[in-house]
């Protein structure tokens, strides 16, 4: 078994205890989600519920007030400094 096969069951993206606000308005409050490697995941919801904010946090464009964003085992906040 090669390294890729070993990692197929693990999480590609992990959000742990994530909180983000725009000013005083909470967008995400203590959210924990895992996205599995190799799986298709959809983020759905009405306008203004934090879908784009979530993607910007994963991409490192925004920094969480608290919590951790991990992509492929790397802390995104530390990468974007």
Structural domain contains residue 79: no
Q: What is the mean pLDDT of the chain?
A: 88
pLDDT at residue 22, as a whole number: 94
Structural domain contains residue 64: yes
Q: What range defines the domain where residue 52 resides?
A: 3-73
Structural domain contains residue 80: no
CATH of the domain at 39: 3.40.50.300
Tally of domains in the chain: 1
Q: What is the DSSP letter of 2?
A: -
Q: How many CB atoms are closer than 10 A to CB 2?
A: 6
Structural domain contains residue 15: yes
- Alpha carbon 74 to chain centroid distance? 11
> For residue 24, what are its two tokens?
């005083």
* Per-residue pLDDT tens digits for 15-24: 999 999 999 9
């Amino acid at each position: 078994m090669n390294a890729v096969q070993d990692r197929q069951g693990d999480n590609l993206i992990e959000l742990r205890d994530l909180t983000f606000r725009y000013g005083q308005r909470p967008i995400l409050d203590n959210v924990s989600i895992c996205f599995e490697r190799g799986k298709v995941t959809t983020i759905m919801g009405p306008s203004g519920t934090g879908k784009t904010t979530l993607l910007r946090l994963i991409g490192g464009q925004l920094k969480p007030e608290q919590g951790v964003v991990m992509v492929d085992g790397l802390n995104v906040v530390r990468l974007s400094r």
